[in-house]
A and B are shown apart, each in its own frame.
Chain A
Amino acid sequence: MKLFGSGHGACPGCGLPIAVKNVLEGVGPCFVANSTGCLEIISSQYGKSAWGVPYIHSVFENAAAVAAGIEVALKALRRTDEGPIVVFAGDGATADIGIGPLSGMFDRGHNVLYVCLDNEAYQNTGNQQSGLTPSGCYTTTTPAGKIMAGKQGQKKDMVAFALAHKLPYVATASVAFPRDIKRKAKRAIEFKGPKYIQIHSPCVTGWGLNGKQAIPVARLAVETGLYPLVEYENGELVRVKKVKERKPVEEYLKQQKRFRHLFKHPKGHEVVEELQKIADGNALKFGLDI
């Protein structure tokens, strides 16, 4: 039986199903806990479940706590051989609303793989700013007006947050590289304890793309250095996706409606420069350039 099926309600071109099916293929049969968000809406309507694995949705903030409960219950029932536990949560559920239960789950050391599907805003309710929204991005709660040019402040560094909890495995991935997602998910469950993978996934409606642009834009995020694909094992950086001839960030920004004000706004130039600095900083920190 397939682990994730056709007929779900995702927008044409959405990155979430690509991420989910490749994580599930990497992990194999498992238990899934899901927080509120796009993925829950598209895949778990009553009588239209797209899941071929045991799946539970509770509330917005507690997916990590629910997964911790499943893990302990399986241990008590001596059924730990039935498969690993995977959490799928959006960026808002990970970085803002569910960050408390997530930290608690990391702290208690439950044997859970936590997958953050990062589409860089609350896209389910129509593009509101989250902790993982990049600077300068237009959302309905950080509109581009006369004074501000989109979101103030930077994208939250959730990889550093996970590393600060001394996790055995932390990685970032992108839906533009699904084989990489599959390999990382497979590698993650070899470790005991909490694991964290953050997957960059374009949102066609929120980012202002058509379906065909989604994968090329996700690829550009990696190629510009704004979304470095890194892999930490036991706190040490073990693998990085190198980028040949790193592209300027404008190329990535220009294709998306959520950044188009940056090229007209009086402060837009500053924001683009700041984003380029972030990309250059990533390249230096992780050694992205060949």
Chain B
Amino acid sequence: MIRITPGAVSKPLESLKVKTGDWGAEYPVIEEEKCIGCGECEIFCPDLCIELIEAGMEKKGEKEKIIRVAKVNYEYCKGCGTCSVVCPAEAIKMELKDIYRGELK
């Protein structure tokens, strides 16, 4: 049963229930060793599915620096490849999904 609020008002961020992750033919793979944690992919991602997460601490003399790496939320990634184009460290590669790899019989 659909309940319609007066004036057809949607609740905020209801789009999160639409999992757009199965749209694309490709998906991005991030090589964590190459990632410099600049956040360029996060700022560009049109589907807001890349986030910088803390991966550990690095000691530089006395100062401690947090290492950040990008992480993709594959539930929403549409595989547009924008992140792989804008990455200055070339740490993101696009790979074809397995279901598109099969040979035609």
- Whether the Cβ atoms of A13 and B46 lie closer than 8 Å is yes
- Whether the Cβ atoms of B46 and A10 lie closer than 8 Å is yes
Kindly provide the distance from the CB of B78 to the nearest chain A CB, expressed in whole angstroms. Answer: 4
A residues in contact with B15, CB < 8 Å: 5-8, 43, 48-50
Asked if A216 is at the interface of the complex by the 8 Å CB criterion, the answer is yes
How big is chain B's contact interface, by range?
A: 20 to 34
CB-contacts of B5-25 with A (<8 A): 8, 10-20, 23-24
CA distance A8 to B12 in the complex (A): 12
- Whether the Cβ atoms of A178 and B18 lie closer than 8 Å is no
* CB contact under 8 A between A17 and B18, given known A1-B12, A7-B76: no
- Whether the Cβ atoms of A4 and B44 lie closer than 8 Å is no
- Whether the Cβ atoms of B81 and A13 lie closer than 8 Å is yes
Q: Main SS of chain B's interface residues? A: loop
Please, which residue of chain A has its CB at the minimum distance from the CB of B23? Answer: A12
- Can you list, as one digit per residue, whether each of B34-54 has a CB less than 8 Å from chain A (1) or not (0)? 000000000111111100000
Asked if A159 is at the interface of the complex by the 8 Å CB criterion, the answer is no
- Whether the Cβ atoms of B46 and A5 lie closer than 8 Å is no
Asked if A66 is at the interface of the complex by the 8 Å CB criterion, the answer is no
Asked if A21 is at the interface of the complex by the 8 Å CB criterion, the answer is yes
Asked if B89 is at the interface of the complex by the 8 Å CB criterion, the answer is no
CA distance A121 to B15 in the complex (A): 26
* CB contact under 8 A between A51 and B47, given known A6-B76, A13-B82: no
CB-contacts of B57-100 with A (<8 A): 73, 75-76, 78-82, 84-86, 94
Query: Which of A69-77, A145-153, A207-215, A264-272 sits within the interface?
Result: A207-215
Q: Main SS of chain A's interface residues? A: loop
- Whether the Cβ atoms of A52 and B13 lie closer than 8 Å is yes
- Whether the Cβ atoms of A6 and B85 lie closer than 8 Å is no
B residues in contact with A6, CB < 8 Å: 15-16, 20, 47-49, 73, 75-76
Asked if A2 is at the interface of the complex by the 8 Å CB criterion, the answer is yes
Q: Which residues of A contact B (CB under 8 A)?
A: 1-2, 4-10, 12-18, 21-22, 43-44, 46-53, 178-179, 210-212, 214-216
B23, B44, B46, B85: residue with the most chain A Cβ atoms closer than 10 Å: B46
- Whether the Cβ atoms of B17 and A48 lie closer than 8 Å is yes
- Whether the Cβ atoms of B43 and A179 lie closer than 8 Å is yes
B13, B15, B81, B85: residue with the most chain A Cβ atoms closer than 10 Å: B15
B residues in contact with A21, CB < 8 Å: 48
- Whether the Cβ atoms of B16 and A178 lie closer than 8 Å is no
B residues in contact with A8, CB < 8 Å: 15, 18, 20, 47
